[in-house]
Amino acid sequence: MPGSRASVFGEAEDFQAALSADGVAGLLVTSRGQFRARLTQIRLDGWRLAAIEEEQPRIAFVAVPADMVLVSFPIGGGPSPVWAGMEIRNGEMITLGPGQRLHASTLGSSRWGALQAPDQQLIDYGRVLSGVGFVVPPVARWRPPRAAVRQLRDLHRAAIRMAEARVGALTDLQAAHGLEQQLLGALIECLSEGAEAETATDRRHRDILARFEDLLVAEPSLPLVNICAGLGVSDRSLRECCKKHLGAGPGRYRYLRAMQHVHRALRTGNSGTASVSGVAAQYGFRGPGRFATRYRALYGELPSATLRRASRPGVAELTLGRRRVKFL
């Protein structure tokens, strides 16, 4: 059923959860400060659209759904995330094929748009229009004709504004289908030329980092030398991959992930049954004093203060005029 919602976020894990259906499997904030993000989402019959505004640097791990193509582009003149080491400038876009896994990072504030389209629908429609086989590469940056990318962005912007201004505007099946058809034609036009597919080396690096992510989930405290052995790469190669795709070395990335896990556990914990030292030790941190100092430097408060505070929702529905935007 078509629908839309607009949300604002004060916690990274709530933002990541809202994007999980779009393939965002993890989100790691990489700097100190209060997290802030705004997200508008539209669900059509088979397509999904989103407009995202973020304030803090972060690294996201993305796993594109198996039957979808993910398309992203800058909006509003602001910077866009760096996808798999590729910078996307105004007038450009990136496509990620079904099942692809990669990291996307930001260096600060960013504004970007995204849409997901069924891959088989793109293939079938593209073949009809071109008369030849139509294939979307696993990961590719595109520089479409100006008129084509402008049309796609205009359709995306109009749909987002409509969703924010009028709650029920996109619940009509006929209207939703018409929007899908317009988006489909504009997207095929954008993908008619100007593709820059990732190199074999870039694809190998992306695969290494996806398996690195799997190892960190399975064994968070595994020594770096064992991680390299498990991945079948040298320490130098892993560091080069991380620097290009994550903007941080493997040690720093693993440290921030562990800190985030502690923060989440403390934020949702019960001060009567949980202890800071116990939670910290669970994620490999020893030395309560040193840990508390590092935690405060990253989150602006002592871990004991986080634990004492009652859990609070990180998502607030965005009120537009007198209407509350939510999924219908």
| Same domain membership, residue 191 and residue 62 | yes
pLDDT tens track for 148-168: 999 999 999 999 988 888 655
| Same domain membership, residue 297 and residue 194 | no
Q: What confidence score (pLDDT) does residue 41 get?
A: 94
| Same domain membership, residue 193 and residue 63 | yes
DSSP codes joined into one string, 178-235: HHHHHHHHHHHHHTTS-EEEPPHHHHHHHHHHHHHHHHHHH-TT--HHHHHHHHT--H
| Same domain membership, residue 155 and residue 277 | no
Q: Identify the band that residue 1 occupies on the pLDDT scale cut at 50, 70 and 90.
A: low
pLDDT tens track for 16-67: 999 998 899 999 999 888 899 999 999 988 899 999 999 999 999 999 999 9
Instruction: Give the CATH number for residue 73.
Output: 2.60.120.10
Interior CA angle at 164 toward 76 and 55, to 5°? 45
Distance CA 253, CA 33 (A): 18
Q: Give a yes or no: residue 184 inside a domain.
A: yes
Q: Give a yes or no: residue 283 inside a domain.
A: yes
Q: Give a yes or no: residue 178 inside a domain.
A: yes
Q: Give a yes or no: residue 229 inside a domain.
A: no
| Same domain membership, residue 163 and residue 289 | no
pLDDT tens track for 240-256: 999 999 999 999 999 99
Q: Could you tell me which of 115, 107, 4 has the C-alpha nearest to residue 54? A: 107
| Same domain membership, residue 275 and residue 177 | no
Q: Give a yes or no: residue 122 inside a domain.
A: yes
pLDDT tens track for 284-294: 898 889 999 99
Q: Give a yes or no: residue 41 inside a domain.
A: yes
What DSSP character marks residue 77?
A: T
Please provide residue 217's backbone torsions phi and psi, each rounded to the nearest 5 degrees: -70, -45
| Same domain membership, residue 191 and residue 48 | yes
| Same domain membership, residue 133 and residue 12 | yes
pLDDT tens track for 67-92: 999 999 999 877 899 999 999 999 99
| Same domain membership, residue 145 and residue 293 | no
Q: Which domain holds residue 157?
A: 3-198+317-324
Tokens of 119: 């891959």
Q: Give a yes or no: residue 141 inside a domain.
A: yes
Instruction: State pTM to two decimals.
Output: 0.87
Q: What is the mean pLDDT of the chain?
A: 87
Q: Could you tell me which of 82, 106, 114, 98 has the C-alpha nearest to residue 202? A: 82
Rounded to an integer, the average pLDDT of 296-320 is: 69
Rama region for 247: left / alpha / beta (φ>0; ψ in -120 to 50; rest): left
Tokens of 180: 């899908």
| Same domain membership, residue 283 and residue 182 | no
| Same domain membership, residue 164 and residue 299 | no
Q: 174-178, long-range: CB within 8 Å, 24+ apart, which pairs?
A: 176/2, 176/44, 176/45, 177/44, 177/45
Considering its fold, how many domains does the chain have in total? Answer: 2
Rounded to an integer, the average pLDDT of 263-276 is: 80
Q: Give a yes or no: residue 214 inside a domain.
A: no
Whether residue 261 is predicted with pLDDT greater than 50 in this model: the reply is yes
Q: What confidence score (pLDDT) does residue 321 get?
A: 38
